[in-house]
Amino acid sequence: MDTYLQQALEIVKAQAGVRNMTEEEITSMVHRLANQLKGIVEGEPQEQHEEHQEPAVDPKKAIREKSVVCLECGKTFKVLTKRHLAQHGLTPAEYKAKWGFKKTQSLIAKALARERRKKMQDMRLWERRKKNA
């Protein structure tokens, strides 16, 4: 077996021991790490890899029922915040453009978005404003 692949497997195995990862996340992370390790050892410039960066998962499957997967690093969140995206040197607008999301797409888990929407509808703030005015 390729030494880069073995090293990538060890890294991903350690990562999977710390947090829950789907099969798709594991395989994409192994593939990405093996290619990055090979590029580092063979002396390819790092910028070349960033231009052709593969997403951690399929962008269409990144926004899930209970989580959102960062396509830059593969970590899962309930909400993909500006602060996290700043660690990758991106704004939310740049992230959406890079990975083909609509400008209006929220980077939040579907269940959490539904819960927040329902809570706001139950509060009926628009009716309170009319009464106060």
Task: Give per-residue pLDDT as tens, 65-114.
Answer: 999 999 988 889 999 999 999 888 889 999 999 999 999 999 999 999 99
Topology annotation, domain 58-133: Arc Repressor Mutant, subunit A (1.10.10)
pLDDT bucket at 63, cuts 50 / 70 / 90: very high
pLDDT per residue over 2-19, tens digit each? Answer: 788 888 888 888 888 887
Contacts made by residues 100-108, CB under 8 angstroms, sequence distance 24+: 100/59, 101/59, 105/63, 107/63, 107/68, 107/79, 107/80, 108/63, 108/68, 108/78, 108/79, 108/80
**Which residues are CB-neighbours of 24 under 8 A, at least 6 positions away?**
57, 58, 61
79: tokens are 């909400």
Residue 94 confidence (pLDDT)? 92
**Which residue intervals of the chain are DSSP H helices?**
3-18, 23-41, 46-51, 82-87, 92-99, 110-123, 125-132
How far apart CA 68 and CA 21 sit, in angstroms, is: 12
CB 74 within 8 A of CB 84: no
Closest CA to 25 of 60, 56, 71: 56
pLDDT per residue over 21-36, tens digit each? Answer: 777 778 878 888 888 8
Residue 52 has pLDDT above 70, yes or no: no
Cut 0.75: pTM above it: no
